[in-house]
Structure 1
């Protein structure tokens, strides 16, 4: 390692795991919902069952071992320690690729795709598609430091990623992102075009083009209707995190059951799961992610990214031609993700779309839900720009 890059290994104290179990067993539960579906949130019976599994059968040490099997480091960027999974391909001519997660995701979203991306030949692919994978935890997330002052928004993180890739010795690289990763990767495309081979997004940030509103396609009408429904019934979490993340954090950092409900609701609402999260995620997979938030105490610090940048990103979704991105761009729009912009809307911002696809399956957590499709999408785009 060089240039301030320090090797890192995850070692959670036994006492922290014992404390988690004790808190789960002492949860003070509310009464059951007054409906027979998820319309008031996660049903009591399901969350109690999931938290009982978490307390009695879930094995964090297995996940810790999976993470520690990958090379990790911490590197100081702009005064903040950033935790990074850095898995180099066995093929020296591989393209460096920075993968950026969002909320309520984490680096565990990518555990099923790192192997196929770094060593495609070992997973039935072509070695020509190999990547050196760089997977950082966002500031305030996972094992990265929590910002102690304001200012760590989307643009600053993107600038940090450009420095990160340079410090790791990569003069030309690709970038991929979803959720907050979409915004950060878009900003990276604006800030560091001379070093980027291209960016891949799921989905792109694109507002409805006013010029098309009189001639909408059926898919565009469905997107607008889904956005309106989400504004009425699904967006409360974002307004709370964008306006009062500190107040919210007291409960989520103190109660593992509360944190579990807050995150698992999104696994159900945003995935292509046909109404139940366990149709696409195992319990262990969901709890891997929730436990990472719990053990690192990052419910409040992660939510602050909404306070920093949510209004700006909202403006990107309402202004179709501002802040154009001119680097080669690939877009994968999964059927259960939201938003689901059309290509003609996206072309107003991304001026060099080289790849566009709408896969038949998948939702917001593409790499986590459908790792095979995700890998195929990433490979397909970057073949065009290597």
Structure 2
């Protein structure tokens, strides 16, 4: 890739002193008392978090992850006044379709590491060159190696417009976009901003309101979805209430305590993955710590949570006319039925309900994720 004057190469180089500080802080953790239950219903259990913290301090190797990340070209550019980091993995296949991948919270570019190879070079992974993508994977504002906004206003719509500007700056006249969690919302906003330049969008957590016109004739799947949604609202929304109302207050604890940051994210890896009650059934310790360490080293506990303050309470659920594909994983936080999705996504060309996987689809089930992305974009290339 030839760099324009507006795009500069970026190297991930964490000083050793920061890793030493992390280990020292973990060793000095002042632990809370133990939960009074024998499960995760009061939050992440003390014994498990203590063991993970010990592993993080004594056995985990950030340099391996740094090397995996650095195997791909990284860049920074200014978009709408904010410095944004992005990974840009170009395909060796000349007819590859540009694809914008957007993560959510508590995710990062790390969760896409196992899918970049198959997406960019399918023939090297048993696939077809016709399915190749040039992948652009940015860090959301306030996340990872992107800058932290210093003033309010960086909501989903503004990020989507910035992403459309990024793809134009990179010279991509036509491209696809993909996302889950906040990445799904940003992907929709990118389609709205990019117009005809966006060939289609693929979502692994499409967001739409359940259709009240169907409530008198709910399918068994829809009944289960509404039951799960009710349970989530009662027991699973504490984090979002805090992050959408008091992200700054939350940040003091998480920015100062790596054990606090660890527990805050690990609980979501347990609750939102297809793990049968234990996160290591879905992700390895190293995978979880790769992502958590990125949050810690970049000091983004408060800045990442501010996206909830900006956009969580007033989501845009207006009609989406871009060609859309949806992959519904069974342990997703919020699921839809196809007929509910069709009320919002007016050009729904692909819909698949999978039998395994959860919220972090690319992280948990990289092969399934890649195949879902390929299947949809074959319809719109």
- The interval holding the TM-score normalised by the smaller chain is over 0.9
TM-score (structure 2 length as normaliser): 0.99
Q: Provide the secondary structure at the position in 1 that maps to 2:99.
A: strand
Deviation string 1:149-181 (CA, Å, 9 cap, x unpaired) is 000000000000000000011010000000000
Deviation string 1:1-47 (CA, Å, 9 cap, x unpaired) is 11400001100001100000000000000111000000000110000
Counterpart selection for 1:32 from 25, 31, 34: 34
Contact 1:182 1:204 in 2 (8 A): yes
Counterpart selection for 2:85 from 60, 83, 86: 83
Q: Provide the secondary structure at the position in 1 that maps to 2:84.
A: strand
Q: State the Cα distance separating 1:203 from its structure 2 match.
A: 1.9
Give the structure 1 partner of residue 223 of structure 2.
221
Give the structure 2 partner of residue 128 of structure 1.
130
Q: Provide the secondary structure at the position in 2 that maps to 1:214.
A: helix
Contact 1:140 1:301 in 2 (8 A): yes
Contact 1:84 1:137 in 2 (8 A): yes
Give the structure 1 partner of residue 210 of structure 2.
208
Q: Provide the secondary structure at the position in 2 that maps to 1:348.
A: helix
Q: Provide the secondary structure at the position in 1 that maps to 2:196.
A: coil
Q: State the Cα distance separating 1:339 from its structure 2 match.
A: 1.1
Contact 1:198 1:328 in 2 (8 A): yes
| In structure 2, C-alpha distance between the alignment counterparts of 1:4 and 1:21, rounded to whole Å | 37
Number of residues of Structure 1 aligned to a counterpart in Structure 2: 379
| In structure 1, C-alpha distance between the alignment counterparts of 2:189 and 2:346, rounded to whole Å | 14
| In structure 2, C-alpha distance between the alignment counterparts of 1:36 and 1:28, rounded to whole Å | 21
Deviation string 1:278-318 (CA, Å, 9 cap, x unpaired) is 001000000000000000000000000000000122x63xx
Q: Does 1:352 align with 2:347?
A: yes
| In structure 2, C-alpha distance between the alignment counterparts of 1:10 and 1:125, rounded to whole Å | 31
Contact 1:175 1:200 in 2 (8 A): yes
Give the structure 2 partner of residue 298 of structure 1.
300
| In structure 1, C-alpha distance between the alignment counterparts of 2:212 and 2:230, rounded to whole Å | 16
Deviation string 1:220-279 (CA, Å, 9 cap, x unpaired) is 010000010011101000000000000000000000000000000000000000110000
Q: State the Cα distance separating 1:385 from its structure 2 match.
A: 0.3
Deviation string 1:80-137 (CA, Å, 9 cap, x unpaired) is 1110000000011100000000000000000000000000000010010000000000
Runs of 4 or more above 3 Å deviation: none
Gaps of 5+ in 1: 317-322
Gaps of 5+ in 2: none
Q: Provide the secondary structure at the position in 2 that maps to 1:311.
A: coil
Give the structure 2 partner of residue 362 of structure 1.
357
| In structure 1, C-alpha distance between the alignment counterparts of 2:64 and 2:32, rounded to whole Å | 32
Give the structure 1 partner of residue 98 of structure 2.
96
Contact 1:3 1:167 in 2 (8 A): no
Give the structure 2 partner of residue 15 of structure 1.
17
Deviation string 1:317-337 (CA, Å, 9 cap, x unpaired) is xxxxxx111111000010010
Q: Does 1:341 align with 2:339?
A: no
Give the structure 1 partner of residue 43 of structure 2.
41
